[in-house]
Structure 1
Amino acid sequence: MNINRFPLRAGHAARAFINNSRGATIAERVDALNALSIQDAGRVLCGMPLDYAVNILDRPELRNAAQILALISAEDAARLLHGMSNDRVADVLLELDGETRARLFSSLDEPVRVAIQHLMGYPPRTAGGIMTTEFVSVPDSWTVAQTLDHVRQVERSRETVYAIYVLDEISHALMHVVTLRRLITGEPDASILTVAQKGAPVSADPLMKQEDVARLIRKHDLLALPVIDEHGQVLGIVTVDDVIDTMISDTTEAAQRFGGMEALGQPYMKIGFAGMIRKRAGWLAALFLGEMLTASAMQHFEGELEKAVVLTLFIPLIMSSGGNSGSQATSLIIRALALGELKLSDWWKVLFRELPTGIVLGAILGLVGFIRIIFWQSAGLYDYGPHWLMVAVTVFAALIGIVTFGSICGSMLPFVLQKLRLDPASASAPFVATLVDVTGLVIYFSVALLILSGTLL
């Protein structure tokens, strides 16, 4: 692969960029770099002072960081990578192809390589996969003054100093956690244990799912959560900003899938035309094939439609009501599963909750439809024929059945997908609506046959 690499400290563009962005925050400068091409962003970044460039590269919001580093010589890339936090380096390297990753990886010092390789070995979306190995720890025999001196020495080489982790001097197992606030207020000559939090520290194992990590951080109001191995030794920490970054990414993907398409994996304006078509066409085709079953259902009841054309007036109302109730239920259950409010074994509780809910909601909508038919008929706005009251009763009863079915179907589908080890977000609103549309028509015409048989049918 031929790569035109540029030197680390070159370019009037970088000086111009820095001059034009004076007073801007790091986040604003990252946004400005994201608006540039990879080549231009790389030249600007490489013309900055090293600390300045590292600070920007360390931000997950910077797009194409991996591609930018791939354009830089191994020596210059190594300087940048050594300044970045280990977890960010691991994320960047995983985005590269094998050849480029090996080249950049070999440029790192041995201790950094070991730490990065350790991080890259954990599955994504786990505590180990999102943790950083840069944290502050001290033995339990130290004093407050010794700990403060140590924090001053290592602060610039650590991603954050939300807390200090006190380790057993012999086994190096995690014993206590000291917040920075408590440390500052402690007596200098006192033992570090005098300012430590009481009780066993809250921790996670490296394979804990990131959703469970987020719940622990929220439950205990933490800024960082230590990740420990089976011997109680600290492997790293998950910071609250790490959790927010990963959860935002996952929420974006889930929202896109729930909209009835494959997750883009890139910002909207960055994905190419062909990629956009590829991501959306498959789901649209699948939904279209599903909607064709609706036409098949109407063909099956073609005779009934010829006898009672008035029934066709309410087909859009019937279909949309069932689809909407199903989408509502699906949205609620997917969110509850994601937050841990529901478990797979709670499906029967949800079923018995959605059944009466669907009946009541269907009755409300059915009553609105019933009143609407009576009003239109009485006011002379439309003549529904001599059996208009029976038509109103049909619409009322059908809406109860369809909304109830939609609620049950929409609430059970996420459980089925989770049981099959699929993402519940795949139960997209369009998918649920399509499923309920077909069955809704069958329910509607079945109710019509029961009520209107001997009159219109």
Structure 2
Amino acid sequence: MENEVLLERFEALVAEHSYAELRVYLDDQLITDITELLHELPEQAGIIINHLSIGRAAAAFRILDFHAQEDVIRELPATKVAELLNELPADDRAAFLGELPNEAVKELIKLLDPEERKITLSLLGYRETSVGRIMTPEYIAVQEDWTVKHVLEHIREHGKDSETIDVIYVVDEKGTLLDDFRIREFLLVAQDTVVHTLMDDRFVSLHVNDDQEEAIQIFRMENRVALPVVDDNGLLLGIVTIDDMLWIANEEHTEDIQKIGGTEALDEPYLDMPLLKLVKKRIGWLIVLFIGEMLTATAMGFFEDEIAKAVVLALFVPLIISSGGNSGSQASTLIIQAMALGEISISDWWRVMRRELLSGIMLGSVLGLIGFMRIVIWNRLFHTYGEHTVLIGSTVGISLIGVVLWGTLSGSMLPLLLKKLGADPATSSAPFVATLVDVTGLLIYFSVAYTLMQGILL
């Protein structure tokens, strides 16, 4: 309702050309409401941004998704673009420019002030998925021989330019990180206290070349709002804040979910992506999976004679392969999520295998018993399977144990193997594991059938 009121009021003021009143009205709105307005009226982005104070315009711009940011930039004159880009925090500016084509970046870089241009080019020089790309050089650093009074005066003077003043960093004359403090630690001691008397040298830092996914785990474990970023020599280069990590975590989670679903990660919102591009993202995996499923027909052709002798075996093929695929999909999803949360690593492979070995046997036994009982009960009711009902039921039951066990082992080990090889574990998607288990499940099923039924039905 509030968004509807905002939209109607905005359109009325624009229609009346009451731009002075519009400026006052927009500056009274929440930043989240302004971003909603930009989403609703991308063609009016120029008017909206132009009638916001530059600080609020930058605050709204930084929380838009990339494609909405592109729409805003297209609607603004060059002077306003320059003003907006220079007002943005360095990390948000680098994140936006890093998504643009090279030619566009070259043009926009020219609009930056010399100092901001230097900072931005420095950030853009780091690998796209590294911590260096998302760090900001806007932080508060103090010297170890300062008093708390000196520190608080420094914060008052320079704090407005910092990304956060919740954490204060102690450096030496070379800029080497020595320690960090939450600001409350300075507020709760006497003002003549010297900084080095409070230091315990226990701090956590990120390396500038660390992967962003690793940084997410460190933030989660350390429960920090910001972490310092250092180089090989321990020099403090910048900080990464929790808001940046939340954006990265959301992007990584979305990407993993899409990969688990058996598609390439989408680099645009679903409804904004051109249809042909969306098809291109999906067709690759579908072709791979389709070719993999062709092997199922090959496997069944290999056991053609056995099927001809005991047609009843073919009735349970869907049951067998779906059970194996389902168990494999379950296992792969659980392991990928556990790896994403930092709950397990490659070194835990043996513990994972032992758990999935026991899980597979227990899950397979339950399904095998249900399958056996279904065949026996069904035959008593409808006399479907003849005199060898128990043999058929045993074949299906034992096969289910083997197939489900193989599915859980495959689904759990494949993500760890891919991680070991340097690939993204999320590519061991549920459809991929299901296809793999489909083929091998048939081999298990017909091998069990041949062993139990040889000389009887086969």
Match of 2:452 in 1: 451
1:69 to 67, 73, 76: 73
Q: Which range moved further: 312-321 or 206-215?
A: 206-215
User: Cα deviations across residues 280-339 of structure 1 (Å, max 9, x unaligned)?
Assistant: 122122212211221222223233223322222222211111001111221222223333
Tell whether the 8 Å contact from 1:144 to 1:188 is kept in structure 2 after alignment.
yes
Return closer, same or farther for 1:174/1:356 CA change in 2, 3 Å cut-off: same
Letter in 1 for 2:83: R
TM-score normalized by the length of structure 1: 0.89
1:181 to 160, 180, 184: 184
Match of 2:96 in 1: 92
Query: 1:11, 1:437 → 2: CA distance?
Result: 66
Deviation at 1:382, TM superposition (A): 5.0
Gaps of 5+ in 1: 1-8
Match of 2:442 in 1: 441
- 1:191 and 2:194 aligned: yes
Match of 2:139 in 1: 135
Q: How many residues in Structure 1 have an aligned counterpart in Structure 2?
A: 445
Return closer, same or farther for 1:20/1:72 CA change in 2, 3 Å cut-off: closer
Return closer, same or farther for 1:209/1:157 CA change in 2, 3 Å cut-off: same
Query: 2:270, 2:363 → 1: CA distance?
Result: 37
Query: 1:239, 1:283 → 2: CA distance?
Result: 36
Tell whether the 8 Å contact from 1:138 to 1:147 is kept in structure 2 after alignment.
yes
Return closer, same or farther for 1:19/1:435 CA change in 2, 3 Å cut-off: farther
Match of 1:108 in 2: 112
Alignment map for 1:311-350 (pairs within 5 Å): 311-350=313-352
2:244 to 242, 245, 269: 242
Letter in 1 for 2:88: M
Match of 2:277 in 1: 275
Match of 1:423 in 2: 424
Larger proportion of helix: 2
Match of 2:8 in 1: none
Deviation at 1:448, TM superposition (A): 1.0
Query: 1:446, 1:13 → 2: CA distance?
Result: 81
Deviation at 1:225, TM superposition (A): 0.6
Deviation at 1:197, TM superposition (A): 5.3
User: Cα deviations across residues 94-113 of structure 1 (Å, max 9, x unaligned)?
Assistant: 12222221122122122211
- 1:80 and 2:84 aligned: yes
Q: Which range moved further: 126-135 or 421-430?
A: 126-135
- 1:256 and 2:261 aligned: no
2:35 to 22, 30, 46: 30
Letter in 2 for 1:453: Q
Classify the secondary structure of the residue corresponding to 1:175.
Answer: strand
Classify the secondary structure of the residue corresponding to 1:235.
Answer: strand
TM-score normalized by the length of structure 2: 0.89
Return closer, same or farther for 1:17/1:456 CA change in 2, 3 Å cut-off: farther
Match of 1:3 in 2: none
Letter in 2 for 1:272: P
Query: 2:154, 2:75 → 1: CA distance?
Result: 37
User: Cα deviations across residues 59-87 of structure 1 (Å, max 9, x unaligned)?
Assistant: 25464314533553443222111211000
**What RMSD in Å do the two structures reach over aligned CA positions?**
2.6
Percent sequence identity over aligned pairs: 42
User: Cα deviations across residues 348-375 of structure 1 (Å, max 9, x unaligned)?
Assistant: 4433443333222211110111122222
Tell whether the 8 Å contact from 1:257 to 1:263 is kept in structure 2 after alignment.
yes
- 1:405 and 2:406 aligned: yes
Return closer, same or farther for 1:375/1:116 CA change in 2, 3 Å cut-off: same
Tell whether the 8 Å contact from 2:26 to 2:51 is kept in structure 1 after alignment.
no
Deviation at 1:345, TM superposition (A): 4.1
Q: Moved runs in structure 1, 4+ residues, more than 6 A?
A: 13-23
Gaps of 5+ in 2: 1-13
Tell whether the 8 Å contact from 2:328 to 2:404 is kept in structure 1 after alignment.
yes
